[in-house]
Chains A and B, each alone.
Chain A
Amino acid sequence: MRKKLNYKRMEGLQGYVFILPWIVGFIAFTAGPLIFSFAASFTNYNITSQMDFIGFKNYENLFTADNLFWTSLYNTLYYVLFSIPLTTAGAIFLSALLNQDVPGIRFFRTIYYLPAVLSGVGVYLLWMQLLDPGTGLVNTALGWFGIPGPNWLFDPDWTKPALIFMKMWSVGGGMLLYLASMQGVSKSLYEAAKIDGASSWQQFRFITIPMITPVIFFDIVTSLIGGFQIFQEAYVMSNGEGGPVNSMLFYNLYMWKKAFESFDMGYAMAMSWILFIIVFLITIINLKLAPRWVHYEGEER
């Protein structure tokens, strides 16, 4: 009604000042690049000399003329499909163990969480040593049980299981997420269930699990987005090659090689949009499926 600049409007302006850094960053580092990338994905852009519009040529070539594209997609899907159920189940199992009256819970929590905060080249080097067929700890330990260990990073069939195995080491990150949410479940629910005659397993199955479904959902959504972007470990552990026999050529690694080694920028950006669409669709599917199994307490949506 009042059109002049009153103090509430002034306050609104202050709000924009507060979020200004984000707005600038969003335009410069997210929205702008997205638009550029989308446009450039229809060109033969190579950062230096050429940027000609070539229509859907990049996308066409990806789907019809590029075997490595399919290999990298397969590798990535393989990794995602195995690592996420394993880490999720492992994290829930571990947090269930820790959510009991056990002596030394704080100590255990620290130990299990530690690997989750370690990352970078140091960790990958450590695992290259652990998985070394001759001098590594993993095969030595398997040897005690009479199991001949595989050649891990040198055998194309075992490179991805090796990376999944390494991922399992940091299961403690998810564990903390679940533990926090389990500890938030009201004690009275368990007491009511006990009086109703539920066993420990039934309490876990019918109370704990439903109550932590929002966190399971959150974990799955974020791990899926993260899982599709596996890059650093594959880069370091295969010396940037993706070998042996392209078995560690994950989607992002292939994109990297296209963009920054052969400078096929337009092509790489087309690849990035395909990944974006895949991740977007999976997230949408997740969101659509959520109401069927995710239980939100109270009137939260």
Chain B
Amino acid sequence: MEEVEMAAKKRDEERVASAPAYFDNIHTKRKLLSLINFILLAAGSLLILSPIWWMISTSLKSMAEVMTYPPTFYPHEWNWGNYIKTWKAAPFDTYAINTITITMLVVIGSVLVNSFIAYGFAKVPFKGRGILFAIVLSTMMIPGFVTLIPQYVLFSKLQWINTYYPLVVPAFFGSAFFIFLLRQFYMTIPNELIEAAKIEGASHFRIWWTIGLPLTKPALATVAIFSFNGAWNDFLGPLLYLNDENLYTLQLGLQVFKGEMNTQWNYLMAGSLLVLLPVIILFFFFQKYFIQGINLQSGGK
């Protein structure tokens, strides 16, 4: 009798003892993990941001301060004038106008033409559509240099060297990646919508214009941003095709500027930051569309 009671009592005690332990276990452990997680992420983001801070900081220092050892963490003297001096040290305004011109044309071409092509691949049935789309995808696998050299030959025979044509014209003939991205998006639009419009009497061109374009706006924003980034950051194209300094883009100008400035890091960083700034601003305003582009990719394969 006693034994049984003892055993029961012991069991109760165990239950009482284990209950809070169990409770603690699941909660403190989760809290601790999430804290570690947070600290890791915070430390990581400091690491990620430090180069950008360094760039800003260096760009504001005097040359003497840049050269001090050990380096200072923030400028002791804020030389905002560095930016003006940098801008004036090279024809950056010409570079900027040139870059904006090229970028605008590339963005317009990419958005309109790729949307048009992608609509065809997604919503108009025709013979050989599957095979042709497979070819579109497989061209993404071709290393750029394989076609770059013969393209250079082509453009030089067309007397297009030292013009913007080689940089802009190809954007009006579609890009495999953007076609793929937009087609993915078009596939999410129900076919019934297209069919309803057909019955109402609209042609495919009209459907593309009045229904396709408005409904794919988010994906078009993604294409606009990606193509903006591509054109703005393009270095290889201008390097290959532009000889006249009046035609130089910001990327090319910055490279020349680098040669002239040698190791005057404050001016170089000021120049770099000015060139990167539009992309950074674009990123903070339209982050959503960057991320959407990524999501469309990951859903695609």
Contact = CB atoms under 8 A, between A and B. Distances in A.
A30 B41 CA distance: 44
A243 interface: no
Taking residues whose C-beta sits less than 8 angstroms from the other chain, chain B's interface range is 35 or more
B64 to A, nearest CB: 12
Given A18-B204, A125-B258, A228-B143, A114 B48 contact: yes
Given A11-B204, A15-B125, A225-B141, 15 more contacts: A12-B124, A15-B120, A18-B121, A22-B136, A22-B174, A22-B179, A97-B37, A109-B291, A117-B279, A122-B271, A129-B268, A225-B143, A235-B239, A259-B149, A272-B143
Given A22-B174, A135-B71, A121 B254 contact: yes
3 tightest CB-CB pairs across the interface, nearest first? A18-B120, A25-B173, A15-B126
Interface stretch (B1-9, B11-19, B215-223, B230-238): B230-238
Contacts of A136: 71
Contacts of B201: none
Given A14-B124, A34-B147, A126 B291 contact: no
A121 B280 contact: no
A35 to B, nearest CB: 9
A108 B192 CA distance: 40
9 contacts: A22-B179, A28-B154, A30-B142, A33-B150, A33-B151, A101-B34, A102-B37, A121-B258, A125-B254
Interface residues of A, number: 97
Interface string B136-175: 1001111111111111111010000000000000101110
Nearest to B156: A47
B78 interface: no
A7 B206 CA distance: 16
A102 B45 CA distance: 14
Interface stretch (A151-159, A185-193, A276-284): A276-284
A29 interface: yes
Contacts, number: 268
Contacts of A275: 143, 145-146
B113 to A, nearest CB: 5
Interface stretch (A52-60, A67-75, A175-183): A175-183
A231 interface: yes
B273 A122 contact: yes
Contacts of B287: 110, 113
A249 B233 CA distance: 22
Contacts of B144: 229
B80 interface: no
A215 interface: yes
A263 to B, nearest CB: 11
A127 interface: yes
A40 interface: yes
Contacts of A236: 235, 255, 258
A28 B151 CA distance: 9
Interface in A105-136: 108-115, 117-123, 125-127, 129-130, 132, 134-136
